[in-house]
């Protein structure tokens, strides 16, 4: 994304995550599972692919903030592919995530995404306002000085809303 990440209080962040999750979940609930795995966009991505993508990115962030693991490990991709993101962008990573989830049932993906959403709330609460002001580099061990509170929306509420838009187009639910 090229826009400046949002900065919210802990309560605003929790509320924004819940609202975005509720919008995404409501969209998915309006459609049968068969439609979530058969209807696709021009790139071949299904709604399930988008949901698995959201889960992988949120899982990666959780593993950084909660477990101290490298983000790539939490996402289920290799370190070299993640490192290439700086020069190659996100497409190869996103396709690797899509391929890794091609055989997963859509119900499992939706359940996991809900569990990740809940786990992220626990992490946010555990960090508190002071922890949300810490730089990402304190957790990810790089030179990212962005405060955690401004990193989280990119892989949670803002990410949910962006992919909800893609899914709505795929499903003709716009």
Domain containing residue 83: 10-32+45-171
Indicate which CATH number applies to the domain containing 117.
1.20.120.450
Structural domain contains residue 2: no
Structural domain contains residue 58: yes
Structural domain contains residue 1: no
Structural domain contains residue 90: yes
Predicted pLDDT of residue 2: 43
Structural domain contains residue 39: no
Q: Name the nearest CA neighbour of 54 among 121, 154, 151, 148.
A: 154
What total of structural domains would you count in the chain? 1
Predicted pLDDT of residue 3: 55
pLDDT (tens, 9 = 90+) of the chain, 174 residues, equals 445 566 899 999 999 999 999 999 999 999 999 999 999 999 999 999 999 999 999 999 999 999 999 999 999 999 999 999 989 999 999 999 999 999 999 999 999 999 999 999 999 999 999 999 999 999 988 888 999 999 999 999 999 999 999 999 999 998
pTM of the model: 0.95
DSSP 125-171: HHHHHHHHTSBTHHHH-SS--SBHHHHGGGGTHHHHHHHHHHHHHHH
Structural domain contains residue 158: yes
Structural domain contains residue 4: no
Structural domain contains residue 37: no
Predicted pLDDT of residue 169: 98
Predicted pLDDT of residue 144: 87
């Amino acid at each position: 994304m090229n826009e400046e990440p949002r900065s919210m209080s802990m309560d605003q962040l929790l509320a924004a995550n819940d609202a975005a999750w509720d919008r995404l979940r409501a969209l998915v609930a309006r459609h049968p599972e068969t439609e979530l795995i058969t209807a696709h966009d021009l790139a071949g991505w299904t709604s399930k692919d988008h949901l698995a993508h959201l889960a992988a990115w949120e899982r990666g962030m959780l593993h950084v903030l909660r477990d101290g693991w490298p983000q790539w490990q939490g996402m289920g991709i290799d370190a070299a592919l993640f490192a290439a993101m700086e020069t190659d962008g996100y497409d190869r990573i996103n396709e690797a995530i899509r391929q890794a989830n091609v055989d997963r049932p859509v119900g499992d993906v939706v359940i996991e995404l809900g569990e990740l959403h809940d786990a992220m709330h626990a992490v946010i609460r555990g960090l508190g306002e002071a922890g949300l002001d810490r730089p990402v580099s304190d957790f990810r061990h790089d030179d990212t000085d962005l405060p955690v509170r401004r990193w989280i929306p990119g892989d949670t509420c803002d990410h949910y809303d962006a992919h909800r838009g893609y899914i709505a187009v795929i499903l003709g639910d716009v």
